[in-house]
Every structure is written in C-alpha cells, then in structure tokens.
Chain A
Amino acid sequence: MIKRNQLILGNKTLKDISDDICQPVETFPSKGWVALFLGAKSLLIFYVVILGLVIANGMGLLGVNHPNGWGTMIITFVFWIGIGHAGTLISAILFLFRQKWRTSVARTAEAMTVFAVMTAGLFPLLHTGRPWLDFWLFPYPNQRGPLWVNFRSPLLWDVFAVSTYATVSIVFWYIGLVPDFATIKDRAKNKIRKKVYGALSLGWRGTARNWGHYEMLYLLLAGLSTPLVLSVHTIVSFDFAVATLPGWHTTIFPPYFVAGAIFSGFAMVVTLMTLVRIGFPQFKSYITIDHMEVMNKIIMATGLMVGYAYASEFFIAWYSGNMYERFVFINRAFGPYGWSYWIMVTCNVLIPQVFWFKKARRHIPLMFVVSIFVNIGMWFERYVITVTSLHRDFLPSSWGQYAWSFFDGAVLFGSFGMFLTLFLLYLRLVPAVSIAEVKPVLNVGRDDHSPGSHGKGEHAHV
C-alpha cells in the first residue's frame, strides 16, 4: 500500500496547533520582522511620494509616449494581478479537487491574492491620468445625459472583472478567518485583543448548525471563485487580444495568460513561504518540504505551458502568412528589445527545468532563487508583450522606443513596498495558517491516531 506522507509534522495535538499558529499574533515582533517592516514601510512611503508626483504632474513622468501608449503601469498591473491568481487557485480550485495539502498554505496564499490585487488595482486607476475622475469607470446615473460607459470595451470588462475579483477574494478570505478570529478571542488574555478579535469573529461559536452552513458557503464560494479567477486573467488578456495590433491579436492569449498567472503566482507563494518558514520556524511543521515540492511541480508544469505558448505564437506568426505578424515576432526576439525576450525565455522556460530533479524541488535555497527568477521573468513577459508589440507597429514612420524614466523604475519598485508592508502586517495580525482547516487534516498519514484528536481512520473532510 502506498503510504501518504504526514501533512503536519511533529505529532501535534489540537492545542499545539492553536499555540503554534497564534504565537506570532500574541507575542511582540522579533527584530528581524521589525527590520523588514521598517524597510518595507520606507519603500511604501517612497512609493506614496512617487505616486503623488505622478498624479500631480501627469503620466508624462513615465516613459509612455507615442507609439508606446502603455508602459510600466500596465505591465506591473498585469504582473501583480497574475500573482494573485495562485492564491485563488490554492484556496478555491484545489479545494474543489479535495487536495488536503492546500490547507496549510491556503491562508497565506489568499492573503497574497488580496494584497497583490490591491497593489495591481492602483495602476489602471492611475494610468487614466486623472485618477480623481475614476468614478466615471462605473455606470451610475448622471446628469450628462445620462452618459453610460461603453460596455463593449475590454477595458471596462476589466473594471468589472478586477473589482469583482477583489471583492470576492476579500470576502472569501475573511469568511475563512472568522473561526480563527474566534480562536484568538477565546485564548486572549489581553483585554484589547479579546475585544478586537471578538468583533472580527462576529460572535462565531462553532456550533454544528453553524458549521453546516459555513462549510456549504465555503464550498459555494470556492465554486464561484474558480470560474471567476479564470475569467479575470482571460479578461486581462482581452485588453490586449481584442486590439488589432500584431503581437496582441491572438486567440491563444486567454489560456496563455491564465497559465502564466498561475506560474508567477506560485513562484511568489514559494518566495514568501520560504521566508515565512525562516521567520516563524514553528510553521515548518505545517508548511513542510512536501508542500514546497508540490508547489514546485506546479511551477514547472505551468512553466512548460507558458513555454509552449511562446513557441506556439512563433509558429502561428509564421504559419499565418501575415507579414506584420511575422515581423513583430522576429523583431521581438532579435530586434532592439531582444534582450528582454531572452531574459523572459531564460527565466520562465529554462531555469524552472531544474525542478525535473527531486533534489532541486526539495532544496529550499535553490527553490527560493528559482522563484525569484520566475518573478523577474514573468514581469519581463508582460514587458515583452506590451512594449515590443507597441514600439513597431504597421507604419515604420511611427516607430519609436519606450522612454524608460526614473519614475518607471520607482513605480515598479515602490509597488513592492506596498505589497510587502501589507504582507508583513498580515503575518503579525492574522493567523497565517488556517487553524480550523489544519486541524481536520491532522491525522493524514499518521499511524497512531493519538488520543485527543481523531478516533477512526481517514476522514474525508469536505
């Protein structure tokens, strides 16, 4: 018989699990956390200043200009929104597939989704150039006719997709947190903590009647989030694919973008999880090497899909017989932006191949380095798609280069300040592993069925 590996190491009891996971919430932060937080917060303040300057002076501070109407903000928007997708994949799609290993990483992956979508959401709002008029993006009764939004525009589909995605992700995440907030409330010795987490727990008490509704809702939200997450990056890809520009106008974009999103998102999950395991050593019993290995397998699989998409695009560019299409792809690989194309191919297709080897999949420093390369590669993928397609289109007289400025780099790096500040705060304020979801899988792969937990064999929890 094939034996399952233990999902949770160290023969924990139910109380041990609560103690381990609540520890970061209930103790003073370590020096390492404070140092990281100060760094991230400084970067966030820098970001706020840069965005303030961009709003005050206009989009001209960035390198966007004719013919490159889209630049760093759109590239980085797609980058962050893609990262969010892995969180929903873990929390919703793997839930529907009954993958029990997801329980340990779901909470943090979902937090990553929420923060990545928040970081991403700012970019299109600022890229309008007049962010104080962004409420025009929504159809509301107004005194200009009323003049409505253009529902035929992919950019408007994006408004609906991203705002729905952000809302549903936050709600899904919060619903998952409610029982854990109740756990913290009931454990709290500090009065303020008891009040705050008591309010956040909404008075949850864990009665069987409530759990019945709760599990049903969780299943439904997972079922709704699954098509939602696929639709979001599909619609993001429509922003490009619906335009008639060679290099953008391809039907392969939706699956290609979704695969790329999951690829980059899992890379970010691995990056963050390796760091969380260092910062909070007790989480090593929950986020085990087995968990990391599974995620590395997904990185490799989706990396191969992305590689297939790159190859397929080139094949179709040749096979279509369309000279503009063919030119764009030759220019993409060998033109002035060829370097970015080859960075993308190296980081996304070649480097993840090390995960064919089991040793590499289970080697923490190595997977950290690979995940960083994948993050870089996936940013460059969006750079390649946006900039190389725009900079030389149909008319050679209108060709030009993207005028990368200081503000392009500042916006890109500053966005990490926002993301990391939120993520570091999350690690200290919220239980970073789902307590109520981990407890039911405590006995997976265990032989002894120790007293105090489960009595019978394998439980198939929904």
Chain B
Amino acid sequence: MSKNTKKRFGGYAGIWTDEAKVVEAARKIKSLGFSKFDAISPYPIHGMEEACGIPRSPIPYVTFVAGLFGMSFGLWLTWWTSAVSWPINVGGKPFFSLPAFIPIIFELTILFAALTSVGALFYFCKLPQIDPPVIDPDLTCSKFAIFVPENDTGYDEAKLAQVFREMGAVETKKVAEY
C-alpha cells in the first residue's frame, strides 16, 4: 500500500503483450531500485508478486481473528440466551447444551470469517472506487502493463521509456494520473 492514499499520481507506463516478458520487466524495474511501481494484468500472473517485491497479503490474519470472534460470539449468544437471559427447560436438557450449540457456533464462525475477509479485501485494495483512471482498456483483456508513479525514487521518464523498450514493451506512455 502506498502511504499517500488520498491523491492519485501521474507517472509513466509500458505496455506488453507477452506475460513472460512483463514479469521479466517487473524484475528489471525492481532491480533498478523502484519500489512504488505496480504491474497491471487481466488475470493473476504466477510469480508477479515476487518480481515486483510485493509482500504476502495479510488477509489471512484478518480471517483468523474474525473467525475467532464469530466463534466466541456464537458461544456467547447460545449460552447467554439459553442459560442466562431466559432459561427454558427443553426436554430436560441442560440449559447450556454445548453439543447442540456447535452447529450454530460453527456457522457463525464461517459467516464472520468470510464476510470480514471480503471487507479486508475492500480495505486493502481500496475498493470500491468510482470510475478510476485506466491506462489502457485492453489491460483487462489481453495486455499487460507496468506503471511507475512519478513520486518513486529515481523517476526519469526518458530512462523508463528506454528500459521498457529494451524489455519488449510494445508501447510506452505518460499517464496523467493513475
């Protein structure tokens, strides 16, 4: 995640039509010392995160905590309603009949974990966005791109254009904001 979340940055982008070449290019850009650049592709590319130096997603930790919360909530809800708030004798069973509550606790664990994980995706990816700028409409279809924002260390359009071309980009262009 970039630190400055409010503002969009301009920058320079290269466009590729070959998956392998764009991964190579990302590796090269990273080796040149850039750290805020991003790669855009129509589908997840295996090895791209490593090539760009993107850390592993923290969503699993969110899922785990949310699952634990859901489980505790389920346990509390079944216990408090059945044994504290209004205990009712059902067929002589104990007020706190834990085995019978496990299905409820399980379902609430899954529900909380799943919905919170989706919320985490929205948070980390800054979704939803209304009509964000697009570098090229084919980037969700058949093309791949690397975008280097102008606030990245050592940003130099002429140099980037040259590197992109060397790495097999079919097009390079200045992007007003992304």
A294 at the interface (CB under 8 A from B): no
In the bound complex, CA of A164 to CA of B86 (Å):
26
Q: Distance in Å from the Cβ of B40 to the closest Cβ of chain A?
A: 5
Contact partners of A134 in chain B: CB under 8 A: none
Size band of the B side of the interface?
35 or more
User: How many chain A residues have a CB neighbour from B under 8 Å?
Assistant: 71
Stretch at the interface among A29-37, A358-366, A383-391, A436-444: A436-444
Tell whether A150 pairs with B118 under 8 Å between CB atoms, given A208-B40, A216-B57. Answer: no
Please tell me if the beta carbons of A202 and B128 are within 8 angstroms of each other in the complex: yes
Please tell me if the beta carbons of A231 and B115 are within 8 angstroms of each other in the complex: no
Q: Is the interface of A mostly helix, strand, loop or mixed?
A: helix
Please tell me if the beta carbons of A206 and B139 are within 8 angstroms of each other in the complex: yes
Please tell me if the beta carbons of A214 and B39 are within 8 angstroms of each other in the complex: no
Please tell me if the beta carbons of A148 and B57 are within 8 angstroms of each other in the complex: no
Contact partners of B101 in chain A: CB under 8 A: 151-152
B3 at the interface (CB under 8 A from A): no
In the bound complex, CA of A459 to CA of B38 (Å):
21
B166 at the interface (CB under 8 A from A): no
Q: Distance in Å from the Cβ of B97 to the closest Cβ of chain A?
A: 5
B104 at the interface (CB under 8 A from A): yes
Stretch at the interface among A83-91, A182-190, A264-272, A347-355: A182-190
Please tell me if the beta carbons of A210 and B60 are within 8 angstroms of each other in the complex: no
Please tell me if the beta carbons of B117 and A208 are within 8 angstroms of each other in the complex: no
A66 at the interface (CB under 8 A from B): no
Q: Distance in Å from the Cβ of A426 to the closest Cβ of chain B?
A: 21
In the bound complex, CA of A209 to CA of B111 (Å):
26
Please tell me if the beta carbons of B139 and A436 are within 8 angstroms of each other in the complex: no
Please tell me if the beta carbons of A151 and B104 are within 8 angstroms of each other in the complex: yes
Please tell me if the beta carbons of B107 and A171 are within 8 angstroms of each other in the complex: no
Please tell me if the beta carbons of B103 and A238 are within 8 angstroms of each other in the complex: yes
Sample (26) of A-B pairs whose CB atoms are under 8 Å apart: A18-B42, A18-B142, A148-B85, A152-B82, A157-B103, A164-B107, A171-B114, A179-B43, A185-B140, A186-B139, A207-B39, A213-B59, A213-B120, A213-B125, A214-B121, A217-B118, A220-B59, A220-B117, A221-B117, A231-B107, A435-B43, A436-B42, A453-B18, A456-B20, A460-B46, A461-B44
